[in-house]
Amino acid sequence: MAFLSYLISGISLGSIYAIIALGYTMVYGIAKMLNFAHGDVIMVGGYMAYMATTEFGWSPLPSTLFAMAVCTLLGVLIEQFAYKPLRRAPSLAVLITAIGVSYFLQNAALLLWSANPKSFTSVVPFGTLRLFDGRLIISGTAMFTIIICIVIIVGLSAIVHRTKVGKAMRAVSEDRDAAQLMGVSVNRTISTTFAIGSALAAIAGVLLSSAYPILMPTSGAMPGIKAFTAAVFGGIGSIPGAFLGGILLGIIEILGKAYISTQLSDAIVFAVLIIILLVKPTGLLGRKVLVKV
Amino acid sequence: MRRLFQEKTTRNNTVTYLMVIAAYVLMQLLLSGGHISSALQGQLVPITAYIVMAVSLNLTVGVLGELSLGHAGFMSVGAFSGVIMSFLLESQIASPGLRLLLSMIIGAIVAGIFGFLIGIPVMRLQGDYLAIVTLAFGEIIKNVMNTIYIGLDAEGLKLSMSSSAALNLVEGGKTIINGPMGAVGIKKLSTFTAGFVLILITLFIVLNLINSRAGRAIMAVRDNKIAAESLGISVWRYRMMAFITSATLAGAAGALYALNYSTVIARKFDFNTSILVLVFVVLGGMGNIRGSIIAATILTVLPEVLRAFNDIRMLAYAVILILVMLARNNARLKRLFGQIKGIFTRQQAVVNIEEGGDSLD
Amino acid sequence: MILLTEKERTRMVPVPSHSIIPERDLEQRPILEVSRLGINFGGLVAVDDFNVIVGRSEISGLIGPNGAGKTTIFNLLTKVYEPTSGAILLDGQSTEKMNTVQINKAGIARTFQNIRLFPSLSVEDNIKIGLHNQFKYDMLTGILRLPRFFSAEKHAREKVRELLSIFNMEHMAKYKAGSLPYGAQRRLEFLRALATNPKLLLLDEPAAGMNPSETEDLMKHIQKIRDQFNIAIMLIEHDMRLVMGICEGIAVINYGRIIAKGTPEEIQANPEVIEAYLGKKKDERHADRQ
Ligand SMILES: Nc1ncnc2c1ncn2[C@@H]1O[C@H](COP(=O)(O)OP(=O)(O)O)[C@@H](O)[C@H]1O
Ligand SMILES: [Mg+2]
């Protein structure tokens, strides 16, 4: 029973990683860049929801929508001003710029909200579930997070595979120049991708802050790194891969904490990642790159 | 004398050495004149350590062409093994300079061994997958160093993963590494001069390596792996060589850095530090060793200079970083810089011919 | 795969009734003996049942339409791709256990259809990299600048000059390889391969993108280099004037299979070759393949 409850909290944490990883993987797949500032957009999402609930006194749903709106705008603006001018630049230049954006967001947050942790009020609408005479306790946050994650992955798959925007995204991801020739607006598609990814980051920020209600300017950094790891784990660029990678990472982290060592849980997560990559050098669901000579 | 400067690379390297020596002499003069603020004095050893970090990372990122996001991990390994060595030598060797030297050598060797071990999975991967493994390595080191307790007493070195009490040190023993508190009670051994010497050694190794058979092989692997293999160059061997050399130098820098303080914590060498060093390398120019030195110096001093604007200094740092990256990759600005450069350098060793230039007969 | 005995080899390698190996090479062991070489990519059989014997100083040619599998054959010979079937003997030695690096050390060098220079390095360094296994010294010797470093570098520089002089390219030694005009890049890649001191040199479309006078020049050079270095050269080329002009034996590939082998005269007279080149309707071709 203990195992089951660990497993559920693992899946719940993994769901948050998965939502963040989706943002990483979509941007990577379509804009071919590692958006290191993605983790900090999560943090901004957290603060926005915090402001909305505690300062404006809004209820959870509008607060979350507000956070999503702000993050979407932020994501699009970042893309416009920092990344778009570097479309043809070496990927490392874009990476460093993304790091600059990450520093910027963290330090702006530091100025606006100070380093003192803010305690976040959970947005989760339902309470704890007790099963088997109270031997299995599932927190409302865990259930809510998992449900939201499933909704998102279904919704995102529908967008990518059923809509015109999704078709454009797949085309740009396959071959940017060819897509351009076929009349797809590459710039607009990349913007849309950033918008979606950032909206997801806001949701992740709200969920993360609900589960771990301490909010700081650096709150997004570690989940960002972990989610990036999850995306690579699953095969970067692959949406099902990000989902799978996120969930697995969450499970490994929680089980590692429970059964091996609380302090070494991060080391365990990263060690498993290295082992997985040794066996599958392009991640679990990543496409093998074919080099034609 | 003229002959010495004929080859462009030789001339270039000489300028780099001279620049470092001149900076050192100038600093010594300023120091003896009492013109250096104590805040900046405290930065001198860290600056030299970061220069070595940047130059060594440039070997991996610029010369070998592989992105590493865990260079601080090697610094960490070098720092802690160097600190342990300094404790072991404390009662054996009187000369602090010699103790520092031996500690740095141990730091370098241990980091080199870690470079080899992490190199095994790294060498099988490409691009971003390779980068993530170096990141993972850095995080593992940080995490493990945070949970380790090492003590030294009459019975020798003792290790525990739970607490310093569990070390069961006998009378007179002391804790060297105290879990999340890091290495404690370090005797400060590092000096600015030691840092300067380490920079010179690093330059000697890296510049000579680049301009030799092995260095060319490394760059061949960077430019085109398949072509390199078809010419009988083992990609694995030369990638590994560059990676281990880079890790070894970072280890020496780590020992130098740690032995400059009385305590050092593992979080000092985290992902942010790896990224910071990567920023030095990219801003200084990929494969441009002198650029790494200049970028490391300026960017380490910059936050100090910006201290006047205390609140917004890191924000300003971020904005400067973004603007510099945008400016450097702006085609129009690039052309402008090229023209300015063209005015000053009349003769260029590496000449670019436009496509479709003259034929050869 | 087992190492073939002399007898098995003769059984497996169908030496054509009229060998196309030049007479001067007949007495000596062939430089390359390939039998039943094949590879599939997923469902696609890119090369199938490829058999060939190459004389020690022969200039031979592989021709055939685009996508026929010619480059893939080079990739198999150099182990860039691992063959799914077949045996390769290089100078009598099986290459089954060798990788690309060992193949080069054993004596095969090549150029690439899509040029693969080290674009950010100088012309001189590109060739020096080709000399990697000719003038050796270890990493420490290089870092410490021991006497061996200076002597090896000096010899390497002299060799670079000598090689560059073949194409009158000495003045380009310091140019960045990536900035050379297209034709010069091809010639540099040729020299770089030659620098590894091969017994067999594979040239993948060496005249591609060259004008007729450049091609003419290249033909002379290929022959000159063969004579001077006494090596075998196998080339893939679409320029029929070049192929028919300098190749002594030619194999025509279509859909991954040899459809004809012979001297230039025989190939030119072969109706199947003419058909493959002039092309038939697509469905007819498919029918042929069954
Ligand atoms: N790495 C690969 N993976 C899949 N198919 C390949 C690969 N390399 C070559 N092919 C296929 O094999 C066939 C032969 O290609 P190639 O040898 O390049 O032809 P060519 O005769 O023009 O040199 C082509 O259909 C090509 O698409
Ligand atoms: Mg071809």
Which of A66-80, A118-132, B25-39, B170-184 is predicted least confidently? Answer: A118-132
How far is C231 from C57, CA to CA, in rounded Å?
A: 5
Query: Would the pLDDT of B86 be above 80?
Result: yes
Cα separation of A16 and A19, whole Å?
Answer: 5
Contact at CB, A104 and B319, closer than 8 angstroms: yes
State both tokens at A189: 């598609």
Chains adjacent to B (≥3 CB pairs closer than 8 angstroms): A, C
A contacts of C115 (beta carbons < 8 Å): none
The pLDDT score that the predictor gives to residue A290 is 61
From chain C, the residues in CB contact with B355 under 8 A are 181-182
Q: Do A229 and B136 touch (CB under 8 A)?
A: yes
The model's pLDDT over A138-189, given as tens digits with 9 standing for 90+, comes to 788 888 899 999 999 999 999 989 999 889 999 998 888 888 888 888 999 9
The verdict on C182 and C219 lying in the same domain is no
At A248 the pLDDT is 94
What is the position in ligand 1's atom list of the atom closest to the CA of C42? Answer: 4
Q: Tell me the nearest-neighbour CA distance from C116 into chain B, angstroms.
A: 6
8-state DSSP, A55: I
Is the minimum CB–CB distance between B259 and chain A shorter than 8 Å? no
CB contact under 8 A, B143 and A110: no
Write b or e for each residue in C34-72: b if 16 or more Cβ atoms lie within 10 A of its Cβ, otherwise e. Answer: bbebbbeeeeebbbbebbbbbbbbbbbbbbbbeebbbbb
Q: What is d(CA B233, CA C133) in angstroms, rounded to the nearest whole number?
A: 8
Residues of A in contact with C39 (CB under 8 A): none
pLDDT digits (tens, 9 = 90+) for C94-115: 999 999 999 999 999 999 999 9
At A236, the pLDDT band (50, 70, 90 cuts) reads confident
What pLDDT shows up at residue A291?
A: 65
CA distance C181 to chain B (A): 5
3-state secondary structure A184-230: CCHHHHHHHHHHHHHHHHHHHHHHHHHHCCEECCCCCHHHHHHHHHH
Is A1 in contact with A132 (CB distance < 8 Å)? Answer: yes
How far is residue C123 CA from its own chain's centroid?
A: 21
Q: A274 and chain C: CB distance < 8 Å anywhere?
A: no
Q: Whose CA is nearest to atom 26 of ligand 1?
A: C67
Check pLDDT > 70 for residue C6. Answer: no
Residue C256 Rama label (left phi>0; alpha psi -120 to 50; beta): left
Q: Which of A55, A32, A41 is nearest to A189 (CA)?
A: A32
Beta strands in C217-256 (DSSP E): 232-236, 249-254
Quick one: average pLDDT of B99-122? 96
Confidence of residue C279 (pLDDT cuts 50, 70, 90): low
Q: Which conformational region is residue C79 in: left (phi greater than 0), alpha (psi within -120 to 50 degrees), or beta?
A: left
Give the whole-angstrom CA distance, residue A285 versus residue A274. 15
In 3D, which of B281, B199, B263 has the Cα closest to residue B27? B199
Q: Which atom of ligand 1 is nearest to the CA of A290?
A: 1
Residue C186 and residue C215 share a domain: no
Domain enclosing residue C138, as ranges? 119-197
Q: Can you give the pTM of this predicted structure?
A: 0.87
Report the C-alpha gap between B361 and B339 in whole angstroms: 31
| Residues in chain A within 8 Å Cβ distance of B160 | none
Q: Which of C37, C44, C74 to mutate to test the pocket of ligand 1 (most atoms within 8 A of CB)?
A: C44
**Tens digit of each residue's pLDDT (9 = 90 or more) over A81-116:** 999 999 888 888 888 899 899 999 999 999 998 888
What is residue B44's predicted lDDT score, i.e. its pLDDT?
A: 94
Same domain, C124 and C209: no
DSSP per-residue letters across A151-197? HHHHHHHHHHHHSHHHHHHHHHHH-HHHHHHTT--HHHHHHHHHHHH
Ion ligand 2, residue ranges at CB < 5 A: C 71, 113
Q: Is C76 in the pocket of ligand 1 (CB under 6 A)?
A: no
Whether residue C113 is contained in a domain is answered as no
- Three-class secondary structure of residue C36 per DSSP: strand
Give CA angle at A89 (A83, A90), nearest 5°.
115
Which of A88, A91, A270 to mutate to probe the B interface, most B CBs <10 Å?
Answer: A270
CATH 1.10.3470 applies to domain A2-279: yes
Residues of chain A in contact with residue B295, where contact means CB-CB under 8 angstroms, are none
Check pocket membership of C204 for ligand 1, CB cut-off 6 A.
Answer: no
- Asked if residue C218 and residue C85 are part of one domain, the reply reads yes
Query: Sorting pLDDT into bands at 50, 70 and 90, what band is C278?
Result: low
Mark whether C158 and C21 lie in a shared domain: no
- pLDDT value of position C206: 95
* Residue that is last in its domain, among C197, C230, C261: C197
d(CA A244, CA A238): 10
- Looking at the structure, tell me whether residues C80 and C39 fall in a common domain: yes
Cα–Cα distance measured from residue C193 to residue C202, given in angstroms and rounded to the nearest whole number:
9
Angstrom distance (rounded) from CA B339 to CA B347: 13
Query: What are the CA-CA distances from residue A24 to residues A34, A243, A292, B50 (Å)?
Result: 7, 11, 28, 30
**1.10.132, 2.70.50, 1.10.3470, 3.90.550: which CATH number matches B2-146+187-261+268-329?**
1.10.3470
Q: Judging by DSSP bridges, how do beta strands A136-138 and A129-131 pair with one another?
A: antiparallel
Answer for the pair B345, B351: CB distance below 8 angstroms, yes or no. no
pLDDT value at residue B352: 38
What's the gap in Å between C70 CA and the centre of ligand 2? 6
Domain shared by C88 and C138, yes or no: no
Whether B348 shows a pLDDT value over 60: the answer reads no
* Residue C75 forms contact with A (CB below 8 Å): yes
Shortest-distance Cα residue to atom 18 of ligand 1: C71
- Tell me: pLDDT of A209 over 70: yes
User: How do the domains of chain A map onto residue ranges?
Assistant: 2-279
- When pLDDT is averaged across residues B341-353 and rounded to a whole number, the result is 46
Asked if C136 and C192 sit in the same domain, the reply is yes
Contact predicate C46/C256, CB 8 Å: yes
The answer to the question of residue C143 being in a domain is yes
Interface of B with A in 12-51 (CB under 8 A): none
What is the gyration radius of the CA atoms in chain C, in angstroms? 20
Query: Angle A38-50/A60-78 helices, nearest 10 degrees?
Result: 150
Residues A207 and A49 sit within 8 Å (Cβ to Cβ):
no
Q: Give the nearest chain B residue to C119 (CA atoms).
A: B223
Q: Which residue in A144, A285, A203, A282 sits closest to A23, CA to CA?
A: A203
Residues 195-214 of B with CB under 8 A from C: 204-205, 208-209, 212-214
Q: What is the mean pLDDT of residues B188-205?
A: 96
Does one domain contain both C157 and C97? no
Answer whether C72 contacts ligand 1 (Cβ < 6 A): yes
Q: How many domains does chain C have?
A: 2
Contacts of A259 (CB under 8 A, 6+ apart): none
- The mean pLDDT of C30-55, rounded to a whole number, is 92
Note whether A232 contacts B328, CB cutoff 8 Å: no
- The Cα-based distances of C153 to A223, C131, C145, C268 in angstroms read 52, 10, 11, 48
In terms of pLDDT, which residue wins out, A56 or B77?
Answer: B77
Hey, whose CA ends up nearest to atom 14 of ligand 1? C69
Say whether both C138 and C102 belong to one domain: no
Q: Are residues C24 and C131 in the same domain?
A: no
- Chain A touched by C71 (CB under 8 Å): yes
Q: Give me chain C's average pLDDT, please.
A: 87
Domain assignment of residue C112, yes or no: no
- Domain residue ranges of chain B, discontinuous segments joined by +: 2-146+187-261+268-329, 147-181
Chain A nearest C-alpha distance from C149 (Å): 34
Question: C77 C-alpha vs ligand 1 centroid, how far in Å?
Answer: 14
Neighbouring chains to C with at least 3 Cβ pairs closer than 8 Å:
A, B
% of chain B exceeding 70 in pLDDT: 90
Asked if residue A293 has its Cβ within 6 Å of ligand 1, the reply is: no
* Residue range C39-68: mean pLDDT, rounded: 92
Integer-rounded Cα radius of gyration of chain B = 22
Structural tokens at position A45: 């999402």
Report the residue of A78, A86, A88, A104 to disrupt the B interface, i.e. the one with the largest count of B CBs within 10 Å: A104
Same domain, C40 and C133: no
